[in-house]
Amino acid sequence: MQLPLVGRRLRGVRHFGAISRVLIKHGLGEIAERLWGRGRTVKGAPRSGWPDPARIRRALEELGPSFIKLGQLMSTRGDILPPEYVEELSKLQDRVPPVPFSAIQAVIEKELQQPLTAVFEHIDVQSMAAASVAQVHSAQLKTGERVAVKVIRPGIDKRIRKDLELMYYFALKIEKRFELGRILGAVNLVKEFERTIFRELDMLIEAGNIERFTKNFREIDEIYIPKVYWTYTAKSVLVMEHIDGIKMDRVEEIRRAGIDPQQVALIGLRSFSRQLMQSGIFHADPHPGNTIVMYDGRVSLVDFGIVGYLDEETMLQIAHVFLGFAEHDYDLVMDAFAAAGLIHTDTMDLSGFRQDLKEISEPFYGRSLKTIAVKDVYDQTMRLVYKYRIVLPRNLLLLLKTFIQTEALGKILGSEASLLEVTRPYAKRLLERGYEAQKIFKNMGREARALGSHLRGMPKLLHDVFRRLATGEHRLELFHGGLEQASGKFETGLNRLTIGLVIAASIIAAALVLNVSQNVMKFEIDLFGIRTLSITHLLGLAGYIIATLLGLWLIVSIIRSRKL
């Protein structure tokens, strides 16, 4: 969606007055005045000057489904919102009055292209659950299976698009007139909302998520994933198996069914660990309504509209983080953070960050879920995020939110388990099963394919280069540098070798001359006992003397160069 210009007249401009009345009603009149340009912009406003989070929540609830969804998204942004805002926005309830069944029937028949009676033996006109995006009805197929039918509310996509136009308009104004808007990045929040909300409107995406969970948990007996009936599933309709059971927060009903609530909590924790460190996809909305305890003791996950995805590298980093915390190895935790790009050695006080991390973590070791509030850990973690200006990617923020919900379910069930202890074996298995080796071989294959593609293009590239050289489009110039010193050394060595050969030749020649039997021009002398001396002898002696002097000079020069 294109960002609407501030000065452009919007189709939803008639709603501006209604929005202003809602803001004024909830004590946010100053915000309304500043949005319309009548208020004074205050830059760098302190925390005390920010709007009251409870009033923001109530205003979003009254503004309608799209704004509720936006508020829910903001509640996951603990990296940029203060904790009190996150806590308050997490209370937003996505419950709205159901659409009349006649409208739901029209959607089903249009999507499936056949009458309702041709598909269902019976369908309840009263909805099981109704939210802003979709509502669910219980039904029975012609073949006898009980199913849950999830239907997108008619006209919701048009309503969302109109609301998005207003959201972009207000986001631009909020960033311009409020320091809080600039801190949050209001426009980017709306962009993120737009990217996620339309995924929830596509039931085929949710059906695909269910299939992935079914495959990942096929061999896990304690978890059950409902079946998708693809024949009756379309973009706005999802038909899946109806799950009989008890919502996970109804602890007394679970006990009356002869099921131990603490065992149910362990199943939930093990399921979450598998999702993080085996599957690479996790159920990101595990509230009690989406987690059903079946009467045989198994736990079923339903409603896969919101899921998170983890790649192989992120899974490994999460495993290192869990293992590091479980074994008090903060160097391992720091290495995992650095590998994930969350901390930077050149811009952060790493020793201070490590010490702060240890101080908030040590008090929680060995304690059960009953004595730990993951939300407290989350709040303290977010304070570190604020302090060291760490930017968290969306999938990790979604993961933190899921942690809080999983911990809340565990506490409701009275779990004595330690989250770190439950997770530790899964982290070890992930690291021990050779994920790094698999990744290396996978990367080698990818690089080999890339090299192959480059080699295939090499002949054409060389042809183009030589063609341009031949036609004068390019010139080929070769330069060398740094060879002067090597050339000088080579020349010195060659000179020494030459002198050595001259010395050897002089010695040989002198020896031959001195040993000849014929003498030329003898002289009679009386010197050092020598009576006669010839020119032949003089030449031989001169050769020996010259060779000796050259030899001595060569030896001295080599010794002085220290390169014997």
Residue 533 φ/ψ, nearest 5 degrees: -145, 135
Q: How far is CA 8 from CA 1, 37, 38, 166, 168, in A?
A: 15, 15, 19, 11, 12
Residue 35: exposed, middle, or buried by beta-carbon count in 10 A (0-12, 13-18, 19+)?
buried
Catalytic residue among 163, 249, 260, 285: 285
Q: How many helices (H) and strands (E) does the chain have?
A: 22, 13
CB 300 within 8 A of CB 292: yes
The C-alpha atoms of residue 548 and residue 545 are separated, in whole angstroms, by 5
CB 250 within 8 A of CB 292: no
The C-alpha atoms of residue 374 and residue 376 are separated, in whole angstroms, by 5
Q: Is 329 a catalytic residue?
A: no
The C-alpha atoms of residue 70 and residue 191 are separated, in whole angstroms, by 10
Q: Specify the long-range contacts of residues 88-91, CB closer than 8 Å, at least 24 apart.
A: 88/53, 88/54, 88/56, 88/57, 89/53, 89/56, 89/57, 89/60, 91/57
The C-alpha atoms of residue 214 and residue 223 are separated, in whole angstroms, by 10
Residue 68: which H helix or E strand, with range?
Answer: helix 65-74
CB 273 within 8 A of CB 419: no
Structure tokens at 236: 């706005």
> What residues are annotated to the active site?
285
